[in-house]
Chains A and B, each alone.
Chain A
Amino acid sequence: MASALLWAEPLFAQSDSTIHRDVKAVDVEAHTQKRQAVPMQTMSAVEIQQLGVQNLADAVRRFSGTNVKDYGGVGGLKTVSVRGLGAAHTAVSYDGVVVSDCQAGHIDIGRFDIGSIETIELTIGQHDGLLQSASAFAHAAMLSISTRKPNFAERQTDANVRLKGGSFGYFDTQFEAARKVHHSTLSGMVQFMRSNGDYRYTIPNVDSTVRGRRDNSDIRSARAEINLTTTDSSRFQNHLKAYGFYSERGLPGSVIFYYQQAKERLADKNFFVQNDCRLRLHDNLMLRFQAKYNYSWNRYEDTNVKYTSGRYVELNTQHEGYLSAAGLWSWRPIDVALAGDVIYNTLESDIKDNPQPRRLTLLSALNVRAVLQRFEATVTLVARHTSEKVEFGARPDDLKRFTPAFSLKWSNNRVTIRAMAKETYRVPTFNELYYTTLGTTLLKPEDARELNVGFDFGTGKFDFSADFYVNDVDNKIVAIPTLYVWKMANYGKVKIWGADVAAGTEFDIAEVKLKLTANYSYQKAIDVTNSNSKLYKSQIPYTPLHSGKAAAVATFGKYSLSATSIVSGKRYFLEYNIPDNEIEAYAEFSATATRRFDIGTSHLTASLSCLNITDNQYSVIKYYPMPGRQFQLQLNFFL
């Protein structure tokens, strides 16, 4: 929604000033990136290029309070969890429509290409914008991705070509073109990417070192998109998108000492078509309709003598139908928004004993907001009804839940003070419910409660924000090892305390513009399940107590130079907090130089990046080493 409003903004700005003011009054927060009732962080295409950001996961891990689980390499799984809540608690939206995966629950954010992104926005709690689908209110955090919009300032046709190449056989090319026709814009893009991913790594092993090269880590992918956006003055705007994706990759697996024989392969296909339409019926009434059909397919293959036929193949197909309608009525000082979604998901799989589940979800969200001078208070109520059907075997009981959220904000020109409380949960995934031997239909949703207080201070030259939070997770869905197999269970309570502090400043030294940003996160996330357990109060795996990020960008004329660092304290890779289970702290440094060349009305930017300059041999996930030092060259030509 936020992203959609961002692209809506110029449109409405061109229109009747009275209407503009009304519209702006309704969603004024969307235009000011900070100043929200909840913590929100953004990154723009310009920053992405200047900082040499590699992929979406690399962008998100620069935000504070995030924990990106990165299995390494271009093709390695990358999921984002926010403030100690599991990855499935964070929704991902792509050009305004929520992306889902009912089978795995989490979204692999490594799959989204960074090259065509205009802005990335991470909101904890929920966005201040009210005209959103009900799904957008039903998660603990939201990562919104908005793709680049054509620039028709100079002409009726816009095009750009990107070439990217780098270490470990990485090559990526992308072509985008857009044409303006009356009130509509038609754009299309294609992208191809490949990588060998065969980087070297070293891992300490007692007094010796395991040296190896990532094997079976290659990936090839292709993507195409078509967008049709139509706007009719300020009353109507519509964005129709069709998206297709294919990839084939090796899964290198974890490094097993003395033995590497990764043979697993994964192929993915994804196709969706979505439409996002906004109507302003009246000065005080806006409507929004979304529709989506999503098809995703994957094929997993493993070769090993342990299978009777020497090979194991698994096919999974998911379909999703999605409809959403939302309305926003504004009678200052009260705004009321109501949204209703209908979502239908199916999974067809040849996994043994898979009951071919189908899930129907009805979601609705009511928001009421009061704005009184500098105060703004919002109450949200989300209702869900989920029911499932299976071909055979047990199915979970229907799920009916109401969850509230509340936020309060006070702001003036420079300062925003905020407080937020939100209750959410995540529905068990199809794998957790039905996967052979592992799943159980008795699972309840995993509950999460968020409390946040914080403030922003900003002068334009200097910005500072600090947020303090307490989160609770209950009925945590975990895999419990048994004598023979792992079993899913609602077993676990986690208590999380944390603080996210960020600061940024911009100033000039002679001709050079300098921008410095840094953030620091503290996160204590402890297991409080069972006071008799040896694990009681131990820090949950993969959660550093301290982490921080810093970036510096210097721009002078057509040149820019950046240096970035990501620092993470020690973590544990298992629940038991003993030194044997520690993963070392790490610091990663990268630098990027960019130059812009003007060619008539066109221009070219060239960027050279050195990533992980110190060749630090670290891993985010134990025994999934990250790439060492690598170089990348990127050329971007804009017509």
Chain B
Amino acid sequence: MKKQFVKILSLCVLGAATVFVSCDKDEDDEKPEVKTEKRVYILNEGSWNGNNSTLDVYYPDGENTYQSKIFAAANGQGLGDTGQDILAYGDRIYVSVWGSNYLAKLDQKGKIIEKHEFTADEGQPRQLAVKDGFIYVSTYGGKVIKFDTTTIATSNGSVEVGPHPEGICISGNTLYATIAGDYNVAYDSTLAVVDLTNFTLKDKFVVGLDPNIVLAVKDELYVIHYTDPLAGTQEIMSVDPTAKTSTLFSDGSKIATDGENLYYVKSFTDYSEYPIVKTVTSFAKKDSETSPLDLTSTPELSSAIVYLFEIDPDNGDFYVGTTDYATNGVIYRFDKNGKFITKFETSSISPSHAAFLK
């Protein structure tokens, strides 16, 4: 069974959470056809080889209702194994499912409109980004693959970026992909720069060992990488793609933006004192001394593992999802001033990403 552990490595790798929210400024290019109330889609990863990834939806403006497993309800079948990333574009939802190896376009109820199954050569899908009617997917085949949102059945070409690209993000006309290289003899440590005008690899430079998340905040670029992958320690680097430099900003495990500011989470678990396992979690805002979230009503968050950290681009609400890798996840919602609003349990293990549909 030891083989499982090798595979699990890949599963436990962090995803780029907030890429599309912040990077894409073009969401209003396409007007939603049906506009009801706002929805927040929550993607639960599930457990490895459990075929128990699920999609839930939360209506923040309504009666605070939460619908579990909407994908299963709409399609009569489950999402499959390990939902990896989700984003909303136009009035459609796009979801990449790593284990089950597909990208799907869903309607608002979660019903599949179209599906792309990745070939062995393309590799299994990881993270998503969108711009100007095109979805970009990083894959285990060492590629970023481009799909036209009008039909995702076949790809519109791909770019080789390096072994095991993970987080991707678009800023202006440039796509950034972190190259983690998990299955190499040694980890990679570069950021690939793809010019979207001609969809070619323009540049590649070192940002830090095993980079996993990349996020653009206005004209700034941030990358999270592992300082010690085995200890799970991570730090946030401030990256200058023009000078090709990367400087330490802070330790941190998740980043998100409301479009203006950088918010980050430090959620680290210390396994060095076996068998005592201790998690310490805190929230921070760049250039601010105080925590952006008031944890008075939710003290348990300061010792919970944060697996999801997203900001509603519309009103600045914070969504924090926790995991224990065994029981169903919990989502905490705070308003933009950090005041606790509500919390709810998700329908499976490890909620990892959210998508906001206005």
Q: Which residues of A contact B (CB under 8 A)?
A: 77, 104, 205-208, 251, 253-259, 261, 264, 300, 302, 304-308, 312, 352, 431, 435, 437-438, 440, 442-443, 475, 479-487, 489-491, 534-535, 573-576, 578, 580-581, 622-623
For residue A430, which residue of chain B has the nearest CB? B2
Of all A-B residue pairs in the complex, the 7 with the closest CB atoms, nearest first, are: A207-B76, A306-B140, A259-B101, A481-B325, A257-B80, A483-B232, A254-B49
For residue A485, which residue of chain B has the nearest CB? B9
A205 touches B78 (CB 8 A): yes
B141 touches A306 (CB 8 A): yes
CB within 8 Å for A257 and B81 given contacts A306-B141, A435-B5, A487-B271: yes
B271 touches A482 (CB 8 A): yes
For residue B52, which residue of chain A has the nearest CB? A580
| Bound-state Cα–Cα, A257 to B81, Å | 7
A306 touches B327 (CB 8 A): no
Known: A352-B185, A483-B269, A578-B328. 7 other contacts (CB 8 A): A253-B49, A256-B99, A258-B117, A259-B99, A312-B6, A483-B305, A576-B349
CB within 8 Å for A306 and B10 given contacts A205-B78, A480-B277, A576-B326: yes
B230 touches A207 (CB 8 A): no
| Bound-state Cα–Cα, A484 to B76, Å | 33
CB within 8 Å for A256 and B49 given contacts A205-B77, A352-B185, A535-B327: yes
B77 touches A534 (CB 8 A): no
CB within 8 Å for A484 and B140 given contacts A256-B100, A259-B100, A490-B275: no
B3 touches A300 (CB 8 A): yes
Tell me which residues across on chain A come within 8 A of B277, comparing CB atoms.
480, 489, 491
A484 touches B328 (CB 8 A): no
A308 touches B12 (CB 8 A): no
Tell me which residues across on chain B come within 8 A of A254, comparing CB atoms.
49
For residue B119, which residue of chain A has the nearest CB? A305
Q: Which of B4-50 contact A (CB under 8 A)?
A: 5-6, 8-10, 12-14, 47, 49-50
| 19 A-B pairs whose Cβ atoms sit less than 8 Å apart in the complex | A104-B1, A104-B2, A205-B77, A256-B51, A256-B81, A256-B101, A257-B51, A259-B80, A264-B3, A305-B123, A306-B10, A306-B164, A312-B183, A435-B5, A437-B5, A443-B274, A484-B9, A491-B277, A581-B52
Tell me which residues across on chain A come within 8 A of B47, comparing CB atoms.
574
State how many angstroms separate the Cβ of A355 from the closest Cβ of chain B.
Answer: 15
Tell me which residues across on chain B come within 8 A of A306, comparing CB atoms.
10, 123-124, 140-141, 164, 183
State how many angstroms separate the Cβ of B71 from the closest Cβ of chain A.
Answer: 9
Tell me which residues across on chain B come within 8 A of A622, comparing CB atoms.
50
B326 touches A256 (CB 8 A): no
B230 touches A437 (CB 8 A): yes
| Bound-state Cα–Cα, A443 to B275, Å | 9
State how many angstroms separate the Cβ of A55 from the closest Cβ of chain B.
Answer: 19
For residue A205, which residue of chain B has the nearest CB? B77
Instruction: Kindly supply a per-residue 1/0 record for chain B positions 100-115, scoring 1 wherever the CB is within 8 Å of any chain A CB and 0 otherwise.
Output: 1110000000000000
For residue B164, which residue of chain A has the nearest CB? A306
Q: Which of A440, A482, A490 has the most CB of B within 10 A?
A: A482
Tell me which residues across on chain B come within 8 A of A487, comparing CB atoms.
271
Q: Within the complex, which residue of A206, A305, A352 is in contact with B78, where a contact is CB–CB below 8 Å?
A: A206
Q: Which of B14, B49, B142, B226 has the most CB of A within 10 A?
A: B49
| Bound-state Cα–Cα, A253 to B328, Å | 25
CB within 8 Å for A308 and B52 given contacts A442-B274, A484-B13: no
Q: Within the complex, which residue of B77, B275, B347 is in contact with A206, where a contact is CB–CB below 8 Å?
A: B77
Q: Which of B182-210 contact A (CB under 8 A)?
A: 183-185
State how many angstroms separate the Cβ of B324 from the closest Cβ of chain A.
Answer: 8
CB within 8 Å for A258 and B13 given contacts A205-B51, A306-B140: no
State how many angstroms separate the Cβ of A485 from the closest Cβ of chain B.
Answer: 6
| Bound-state Cα–Cα, A143 to B159, Å | 56
CB within 8 Å for A484 and B226 given contacts A256-B80, A300-B3, A305-B123: yes
For residue A352, which residue of chain B has the nearest CB? B185
| Bound-state Cα–Cα, A437 to B100, Å | 25
Tell me which residues across on chain A come within 8 A of B123, comparing CB atoms.
304-306
Q: Within the complex, which residue of B49, B77, B117, B274 is in contact with A440, where a contact is CB–CB below 8 Å?
A: B274
Is B163's CB within 8 Å of the partner chain A? yes
Tell me which residues across on chain A come within 8 A of B229, comparing CB atoms.
437, 484-485
State how many angstroms separate the Cβ of A557 from the closest Cβ of chain B.
Answer: 48
Is B243's CB within 8 Å of the partner chain A? no
B326 touches A574 (CB 8 A): yes
Tell me which residues across on chain A come within 8 A of B253, comparing CB atoms.
483
For residue B121, which residue of chain A has the nearest CB? A305
For residue B101, which residue of chain A has the nearest CB? A259
| Bound-state Cα–Cα, A475 to B77, Å | 40
Q: Within the complex, which residue of B49, B72, B184 is in contact with A308, where a contact is CB–CB below 8 Å?
A: B184
B348 touches A257 (CB 8 A): no
Tell me which residues across on chain B come within 8 A of A486, comparing CB atoms.
5, 8, 12
B1 touches A485 (CB 8 A): no
B100 touches A257 (CB 8 A): yes
| Bound-state Cα–Cα, A438 to B349, Å | 21
B78 touches A580 (CB 8 A): no
Tell me which residues across on chain B come within 8 A of A256, comparing CB atoms.
49, 51, 80-81, 99-101
Q: Within the complex, which residue of B50, B117, B140, B324 is in contact with A304, where a contact is CB–CB below 8 Å?
A: B140
Tell me which residues across on chain B come within 8 A of A438, comparing CB atoms.
2, 5
Q: Within the complex, which residue of B5, B140, B328 is in contact with A576, where a contact is CB–CB below 8 Å?
A: B328
State how many angstroms separate the Cβ of B244 from the closest Cβ of chain A.
Answer: 24
Q: Which of A104, A573, A574 has the most CB of B within 10 A?
A: A574
B274 touches A259 (CB 8 A): no
B230 touches A485 (CB 8 A): yes
Q: Which of B78, B269, B349 has the most CB of A within 10 A?
A: B78
Tell me which residues across on chain A come within 8 A of B325, comparing CB atoms.
481
For residue A300, which residue of chain B has the nearest CB? B3
Tell me which residues across on chain A come within 8 A of B80, comparing CB atoms.
256-259
Tell me which residues across on chain A come within 8 A of B326, comparing CB atoms.
534-535, 574-576
Q: Which of B67-89 contact A (CB under 8 A)?
A: 72, 75-78, 80-81
Q: Within the complex, which residue of A208, A302, A534 is in contact with B76, where a contact is CB–CB below 8 Å?
A: A208
For residue A487, which residue of chain B has the nearest CB? B271
Q: Which of B89-147 contact A (CB under 8 A)?
A: 97, 99-102, 117, 120-124, 140-142
B271 touches A251 (CB 8 A): no
Q: Which of A256, A261, A264, A487 has the most CB of B within 10 A?
A: A256
| Bound-state Cα–Cα, A622 to B181, Å | 31
CB within 8 Å for A623 and B100 given contacts A300-B3, A435-B2: no
Tell me which residues across on chain B come within 8 A of A483, comparing CB atoms.
12, 14, 232, 234, 253, 269, 305
Tell me which residues across on chain B come within 8 A of A104, comparing CB atoms.
1-2
State how many angstroms separate the Cβ of A98 from the closest Cβ of chain B.
Answer: 22
State how many angstroms separate the Cβ of B195 from the closest Cβ of chain A.
Answer: 24
| Bound-state Cα–Cα, A489 to B273, Å | 10
Q: Within the complex, which residue of A206, A251, A307, A480 is in contact with B3, where a contact is CB–CB below 8 Å?
A: A251
Tell me which residues across on chain A come within 8 A of B348, comparing CB atoms.
580
| Bound-state Cα–Cα, A623 to B325, Å | 19
State how many angstroms separate the Cβ of B167 from the closest Cβ of chain A.
Answer: 14
| Bound-state Cα–Cα, A581 to B326, Å | 10
| Bound-state Cα–Cα, A393 to B234, Å | 24
State how many angstroms separate the Cβ of B306 from the closest Cβ of chain A.
Answer: 10
Q: Within the complex, which residue of B2, B14, B49, B234 is in contact with A431, where a contact is CB–CB below 8 Å?
A: B2
Tell me which residues across on chain A come within 8 A of B184, comparing CB atoms.
308
Q: Within the complex, which residue of A300, A442, A484, A574 is in contact with B12, where a contact is CB–CB below 8 Å?
A: A484
CB within 8 Å for A623 and B49 given contacts A205-B77, A305-B141: yes
CB within 8 Å for A437 and B50 given contacts A205-B77, A259-B102, A308-B184: no
For residue B139, which residue of chain A has the nearest CB? A305
